[in-house]
Amino acid sequence: MVETGHFALVLAFALSLVQFVLPLVGARTGDARLMATAGPVAVTGFAMTAISFAALTVAYMLSDFSVLNVVENSHSQKPMLYKITGTWGNHEGSMLLWVLILTFFGALVASFGRNLPATLRANVLAIQGLIGSAFFLFIIATSNPFVRVSPAPIEGQDLNPILQDVGLAIHPPLLYLGYVGFSVCFSFAIAALIEGRIDAAWARWVRPWTLAAWIFLTGGIAMGSYWAYYELGWGGFWFWDPVENASFMPWLAGTALLHSAIVMERRSALKIWTLLLAIMAFSLSLLGTFLVRSGVLTSVHAFATDPARGVFILMILVFFIGGALMLFAWRAQTLTPGGIFAPISREGALVLNNLFLSTAVTTVLVGTLYPLVLESITGEKISVGEPFFNLTFGPLMVPLLLAVPFGPLLAWKRADLWAASQRLVFAFGGAVLVMLVTYSFVDRASVLAAFGIGLGTWLVLGAITDLATKSGLGSVSPGIALRRFAGLPRSAYGTALAHLGVGLTTLGVVGVMSLQTEHILTMKPGESVPVAGYEIRFEGLQPYRGPNYTEDQGRFLLMDSSGRTLTEIVSAKRFYPARQMPTTEAGIATRGVSQVYVALGDAVDGGGIVVRIWWKPLVTLIWLGCVVMMVGGSLSLLDRRLRIGAPAKRRKRLAAAEATA
């Protein structure tokens, strides 16, 4: 079984080369039969990769310690779920997952791309094949998960305990679906450059792929953030760690692409810029893969460091990014540029969004790469952390977020800013009210907290205003408005929900950053401490034995001010003997959208233990907001709305009427 998987991997590599060469030559010479090979070869390549991945997974499930990869990353006593997720909880397996998803997307393009022009379809699949063959070669040459050992050891070295969590089942697959999803946009961009023309179908096709990749990436990043939050025991949700930035940059570029693709669909404008963004989104994904996989950065994600791997990925990176940009420089001027348009219009607002997002990408890129470049040149180690990003990224986001509610209210072609502002009066009033309430009742100390919460409210109410305006609330009777609301295109819901999600996430981030409280104290059993209107009592420590670990569980009771027990919080310190590693398991109790977070420190003399307790107001909104964004993206993906702008006359009446349409 193992060797069948190994052979299937080699076969998939051979097929990926065929998938690159034959369709490309076919598209060039106009040979229909050569082009026709693209689809079946892509689907078969996916099937072979799936067989290969399944073989590795089975080896993990059965604890086949004749496979080196299983020995290094598994343990026979591990729960079954972690045996399965352990398949991609290591460098080799995660690269296999990477190509599995890549070939999966190739197969999807092959299956659903029948209505694409034959040459475009052939070129797109050829580029997918090229990307695939580069990564298959990387796996076979430097990171083969099917290396065998003889004689086989009887026990494995276990998976890094931090990774033994449900998070590993969700975070990497989602993140990879996002990263690799952008490869399809990239292939479309390169195919357009090769052909020297952009078909009308181009934008129609690129946008759903961007949306799909963006949804998965949003989920992957949010899941990673929540995982770090509860697993690392510091209670932080984002650390501006280079590895996090590596996933955040493609997200920002993808968000920009998402918006510029709308302009391209509707108005046939911004074509070349959209093409460039499609290239950038995947290039940043590749950069992320390089940063994480090469061992340039030491972190929990750098499973193993091997210079050969780093150099290999660097070569892949240089080849694809450099090649794509050269092709872009060479061919971009042969593409017909789109029309020009007025600054105050929907498309103008989308360009503003793009400007801010691409500046933000650059900021994060500089903050991430500068320390690495500096270290490699001068050997000096510096760390660019939160202060840098708070000073640069923060101020960039504020005007963008302030402008978000205006965007969807502006009409295409020529819009009326004043009319849009009038409609936003309720949202603005609500935001100011919340701001004042926050300032005077909740937190007198910080103007920033009040402003941030006001900003979040503004976004949420702005999104609701958008839907209300589109259904004509206020200008038609409630019954008609309700009917119109139900008949709105899904993309309208999608836009509003995604923007609402951004608002919720903003509220969560601001709430935690400005209003959280921290208590560090030594507690003995029976003692209690007041936290944010609750009472937390330490019941005592209890030893507990898990399947492959032992732990000391600290039991706490969360009580309200009158002494009624609300829930029990269990926070633990675990020890995994196979890796001789301790981990912390934070105890978390959710009250509404806020959380109480308890982490155990070291025991002190006399039976006490150091306990860190955080009150994290609104914290769950950070991830709930991301879920709402994902739902919004999914609704948009399901929409089959009008793909072309309904241009309005210059008269104001019509502009207003259109915005309500």
Partner 1 sequence: MVFWIVLGLLTVIASLAIILPLSGSRREVAGAREHDIEVYRDQLAEIERDAGRGLIGKEEAAQARAEIGRRILKLDTNDQNGGHVPRDNALVRGLAMAAVVAVPVMSWGLYSAIGSPDMAGQPLAERLAKDPASSTIDELVARAEAHLRANPEDGRGWDVVAPIYLRLDRAGEAATAFRNAIRLLGDSAPRWTGLGEALMAGSGGVVTTDAAAAFERAAALDPADPRPKFFLATAKAQEGDLVAAATDLRALLSTLAAESPWRPVVEQTLAQATAEAERRAASAAPGPSSEDMEAAAELSDAERADMIQVMVERLDERLRENPQDAEGWQRLVRSYLVLDRRADARDALARGVTALGTDTEQARGLTAFAAGLGLGEDQP
User: Are 568 and 557 contacting, i.e. CB atoms less than 8 angstroms apart?
Assistant: yes
User: Are 633 and 606 contacting, i.e. CB atoms less than 8 angstroms apart?
Assistant: no
Among 487, 526, 592, 606, binds partner 1 (CB under 8 A): 487
Q: Which of residues 80-99 bind partner 1 (CB under 8 A)?
A: none
By CB under 8 A, the count of residues binding partner 1 is 95
Residue 489 makes contact with partner 1 by CB under 8 A? yes
Distance between CA atoms of 347 and 356, rounded to whole angstroms? 14
Shortest spacing between CB 522 and partner 1, in angstroms: 17
Residue 17 makes contact with partner 1 by CB under 8 A? yes
Pattern of binders to partner 1 over 434-453, x per CB under 8 A? --------------------
Residue 479 makes contact with partner 1 by CB under 8 A? no
Q: Which of residues 167-206 bind partner 1 (CB under 8 A)?
A: 195, 197, 199-201, 204
State which residue, 445 or 544, has the beta carbon closest to partner 1.
544
Segment near partner 1 (CB under 8 A), from 61-69, 390-398, 452-460, 620-628? 61-69
Shortest spacing between CB 28 and partner 1, in angstroms: 10
State which residue, 343 or 577, has the beta carbon closest to partner 1.
577
Q: Which of residues 112-151 bind partner 1 (CB under 8 A)?
A: 115-120, 140, 144, 146, 148, 150-151
Residue 217's alpha-carbon distances to 76, 163, 171, 214, 626, in angstroms, are 33, 19, 9, 5, 10
Residue whose token pair is 């989920």? 219
Residue 656 makes contact with partner 1 by CB under 8 A? no
Segment near partner 1 (CB under 8 A), from 43-51, 446-454, 535-543, 551-559? 43-51
Q: Smallest Cα–Cα separation from 260: which of 252, 268, 270, 251?
A: 270
Among 335, 398, 403, 581, binds partner 1 (CB under 8 A): 581
Residue 268 makes contact with partner 1 by CB under 8 A? yes
Residue 8 makes contact with partner 1 by CB under 8 A? yes
Pattern of binders to partner 1 over 386-425, x per CB under 8 A? ----------------------------------------
Q: Which of residues 319-358 bind partner 1 (CB under 8 A)?
A: none
Among 30, 322, 395, 478, binds partner 1 (CB under 8 A): 30
Distance between CA atoms of 251 and 241, rounded to whole angstroms? 15
Concatenate the DSSP letters of all residues of 149-200 into one string.
-SSPPSS-----GGG-STHHHHHHHHHHHHHHHHHHHHHHHHHHHHHT---H
User: Are 585 and 572 contacting, i.e. CB atoms less than 8 angstroms apart?
Assistant: yes
CA 571 from chain centre, in angstroms, equals: 29
| Element housing 604 (H / E) | none
Residue 568 makes contact with partner 1 by CB under 8 A? no
Concatenate the DSSP letters of all residues of 611-637 into one string.
EEEEEETTTHHHHHHHHHHHHHHHHHH
Residue whose token pair is 């996989």? 293
> Which residues, including other chains, have CB under 8 Å from residue 12's CB and lie 6 or more apart?
45, 48, 49, 52, 99, 103, 132, 136
The reply to whether omega before 617 is within 30° of 0 (cis) is no
User: Are 89 and 163 contacting, i.e. CB atoms less than 8 angstroms apart?
Assistant: yes
Instruction: Collapse the DSSP code of 251 into the 3-class scheme (helix H, G, I; strand E, B; otherwise coil) and give the result.
Output: helix
Shortest spacing between CB 115 and partner 1, in angstroms: 7
Among 1, 81, 311, 373, binds partner 1 (CB under 8 A): 1
Residue 68 makes contact with partner 1 by CB under 8 A? no
Shortest spacing between CB 661 and partner 1, in angstroms: 5
Segment near partner 1 (CB under 8 A), from 173-181, 212-220, 348-356, 576-584? 576-584
H, E, C per residue of 448-481:
HHHHHHHHHHHHHHHHHHHHHHHCCECCECHHHH
Q: Which of residues 633-652 bind partner 1 (CB under 8 A)?
A: 640-649
Residue 463 makes contact with partner 1 by CB under 8 A? no
